[in-house]
């Protein structure tokens, strides 16, 4: 968690680095601290070739049309929430 001053520094660093996407600042009610969360879209053409290939296989194997991937508290890949068409 970051103090108000640290959040301002984080926004400045994010801006100056030329980042794109959304920077979300979240502060819980009555809290003196906040968290900065970056939300970014990475296109396959922007990925390293090996990463793009692995990503394609991952999506193909699970027949993913849309999805969200999540790591556990230790930073390990944990789960994917996916959507795809369902034709019974």
Radius of gyration of the chain (CA): 17
Nearest to 71 by CA among 82, 58, 80: 80
Q: What is the pLDDT of residues 36-75, one digit of tens each?
A: 999 989 999 999 999 999 999 999 999 999 999 999 999 9
Contact (CB, 8 A) for 33 and 2: yes
CA distance 72 to 23: 22
- Vertex 58: Cα angle to 56 and 64 (nearest 5): 90
* pLDDT confidence of residue 87: 83
Task: Tally Cβ neighbours within 10 Å of residue 7.
Answer: 19
Q: What mean pLDDT comes out for the span 6-10?
A: 96
């Amino acid at each position: 968690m970051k103090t108000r001053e640290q959040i301002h520094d984080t926004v400045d660093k994010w801006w100056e680095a030329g980042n794109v996407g959304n920077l979300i600042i979240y502060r819980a009610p009555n809290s003196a601290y906040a968290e900065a969360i970056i939300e970014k879209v990475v296109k396959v053409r922007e990925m390293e070739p090996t990463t793009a290939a692995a990503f394609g296989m991952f999506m193909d194997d699970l027949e993913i049309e849309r999805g969200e991937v999540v790591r556990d508290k230790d930073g390990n890949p944990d789960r994917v929430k996916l959507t795809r068409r369902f034709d019974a």
